[in-house]
Amino acid sequence: MLAPWARHSRPQRKPVEDAPTTLPEVPVAAFRTALGVAAEAAGMPGALVRTLSKGVRNQTSAVSFYAPRTIFNQSITGARRFAADDWPVERLKAIAKASGTTINDVVLAMCSGAMRTYLLELDALPEDPMVAMVPVGLNAKQSQIASAEGGNAIGSVMVQLATDLGDPAERLDRIHLSMRDGKEALSSMTQTQILAMSALGQAPAILAPLLRMQGIVRPPYNLIISNVPGPRTSHYWNGAKLTGTYPLSIPINGMALNITCTSYDGQMGFGLTGCRRTVPHLQRLLTHLDDEVANLEKAVGVG
């Protein structure tokens, strides 16, 4: 086979005048791809209507209109504070099994309870439940478990954290229902539609700082919570054992706190990254996360 530039460098043969004119052969796969793209484009208006309708009704989807204003949703500086710790995955699995939820629901409930306690200490807890942007994975039909099952994050759901509820079991149940609604909202979409609707949900977080409208309009969500799967066995480097891994993520303007979790060798590591000025005493959240694991165990009857 000649290289592309070799073809162009060869002299062009003159067409034979009496030779019949035929269409070039097009692979069947190309037609299928074109039809698939057309079908996705045709389904986009319906996906948009469903997404916006759920958002207006304050139901979980890729778009939220009900996130309250919090101390996290303001301009940030270049200074950062980082805090990290981990908890045995088996403890989280036991809570999930006893409550009929998932490990990812338990991770979100831990963050919810920690947020509630932290903001109560600062006299800054909003009356309405906080909303977290939770990334979803590559497989459109199974990825709505917030990246807990692998795959590159291509979409997101806006999960209600139930920070207005004082009971840990009720918070976990509400989060579970919110995630279930998010799964149902995405299950009827293709991967392209999920990506498009998620981009729509992210747009206010990008446009508000650019248009200097922070503090004037509601934030699209209050913080980012990601759960990324990691190695299940111990890793070594030159004989030295890796004892822990903690993700360091990026806050954005208007979203001063980012919580990312990753599993490693039977542990669930939490990495909290926040703006030093906007998120005071960030390390206290680690204590609140630890307390919340115990609260959830007590609430669902394990320990």
Q: Which of 3, 9, 295, 61 is nearest to 186 (CA)?
A: 61
Domain extents for the chain?
30-300
User: Which pLDDT belongs to residue 150?
Assistant: 44
User: Which pLDDT belongs to residue 205?
Assistant: 64
Q: Mean pLDDT for each 10-residue chunk of the chain (303 residues)?
A: 51 50 47 43 61 63 79 92 96 97 96 97 96 74 42 74 96 92 77 73 62 65 90 91 92 92 95 95 97 97 87
Q: Which of 161, 155, 136 is nearest to 47 (CA)?
A: 155
User: Which pLDDT belongs to residue 183?
Assistant: 78
Considering only the top CATH level, what class is 30-300?
alpha beta
Dihedral sign of CA atoms 166, 170, 171, 174 in order = negative
User: Which pLDDT belongs to residue 45?
Assistant: 65
